[in-house]
Structure 1
Amino acid sequence: MPVPDEIKAYERPRCTEIHQVRGHYYVYKTTSVWDRERKRPRKKTLGCVGKIVPGRGFVASGPKAGPAAPAGAPVVREYGCWALFDGLNPGLREQLEEHLGELGVRACF
């Protein structure tokens, strides 16, 4: 099914194309790659960069890292190996601080 002209009229990034998936219009980044066998360029779709919402226009996709932590949520840090080393050698942190400096120790712990 062709994409309607009203959807094509919205502003979107260069080198992109619009695909309709289940009634929604998604914008995909494209590039061309040289095909040695056919001796001509071939289109390659790289991935979704956003979607077009009627009435709003182009909406960029957010980062794929997952949902953001709510404000005030505790920060979790892993320290398993360093907790073991520090338990086996209580002066380890001070010894490392002599050789690496305070910033070096912060990077380790």
Structure 2
Amino acid sequence: MNSERRSRLWALVVDGARGGTVAVDHVCAASVSATGVDSAAVAVTLRATPREVLCASDRTASELEELTVTLGEGPCVDASSGGPDLIADLAAPECLTRWPAFAPAAVLAGV
């Protein structure tokens, strides 16, 4: 991410806080707004603890994160260890091969 894009995203985060303390929910909402995606979630993975979801922009994002935590696979797991993993169609054969439990469950959830 370049510095101009980072500055625009941070401005959205600060605007979302409306003068209050910036929270992770503001980062999540700004990410949806800035990227034009349908949903977003913020999760952390620490060595000593399992993956924890800090916020989700909507029910879909929450359900997908729950699947990720439960199944231990999916784009978010891969992204946490190697960078962005943008997927257009979870029903695509390569996704079904890559994430044999997550992809079909996500498709059944309506993603």
Higher radius of gyration, 1 or 2: 1
In terms of fraction of residues, the more strand-rich structure is 1
Q: TM-score range by the shorter chain?
A: under 0.3
Normalising by structure 1, we get a TM-score of: 0.21
